Amino acid sequence: MHRTTSIFTVLFIFLSLTTFGQISKEEYNREKEKLNVTRDQVKSEIVDINFEIDSMRNRIPELEQEVINAYRELYILKYGKDIGQKVAFKQIWTGMTDEMVSDSWGEPDKIDKNVKPWGVFTQWYYGKVTFFFKDGRLTEWDEK
């Protein structure tokens, strides 16, 4: 008898808990419809965002060219037409100043500097390329 009472008690508690946790069919349908609307809005936003991303990706080459042109104009103003264009297009020649090389190639990975009574000797390292300067002027370079 005790066992039967325990089983009925557990069954009654279980059914009570599941009944209290339920919502009506109308409430369920309203919530489902809200979720469907939200899902559709999110899908629409994803389409819009993907369109914006594609538009931005398509502008990258144009913007890169604008940057190149702006640097070229800057170096032409700074060094004159012939030298400015060479610096902008990363051309190297003996006699360049260290500032020209820096403008053209950016900051080096490493710099070694030796000061002697007969001049200041500097080596700039860019990956496998080394530039050699004497008193701030490019004397030679080596590519390994």
Q: Where are the domains of the chain?
A: 2-76, 91-143
SS3 139: strand
SS3 110: strand
SS3 122: strand
For helices 98-105 and 81-88, the axis angle rounded to 10 degrees is 50
Q: How far is CA 44 from the centre of its chain?
A: 26
User: What average pLDDT does the segment 9-14 reach?
Assistant: 58
> How crowded is the C-beta side of 3, counted as CA atoms within 13 Å?
0
Q: Which band of pLDDT confidence, cut at 50, 70 and 90, is reported for residue 39?
A: confident
Would you state the pLDDT for residue 11? 54
Q: Which band of pLDDT confidence, cut at 50, 70 and 90, is reported for residue 25?
A: confident
Burial label, 87 (beta-carbon count in 10 A; 0-12, 13-18, 19+): buried
d(CA 79, CA 101): 12
User: What average pLDDT does the segment 50-56 reach?
Assistant: 93
Is the distance from CB of 136 to CB of 98 less than 8 angstroms?
Answer: yes
Rounded to 5 degrees, what angle do the CA atoms 97, 100, 105 make? 125
Would you state the pLDDT for residue 7? 59
User: Taking all residues of the chain, what is their mean pLDDT, rounded to a whole number?
Assistant: 89
Q: Which band of pLDDT confidence, cut at 50, 70 and 90, is reported for residue 3?
A: low
User: What average pLDDT does the segment 13-34 reach?
Assistant: 75
Say whether domain 91-143 belongs to CATH 3.30.1450.10.
yes
What sign does the dihedral 54-56-60-65 (CA atoms) show? positive
pTM exceeding the 0.75 threshold for the entire prediction: no
78-102 pLDDT, tens digit per residue, is 999 999 999 999 999 999 999 999 9
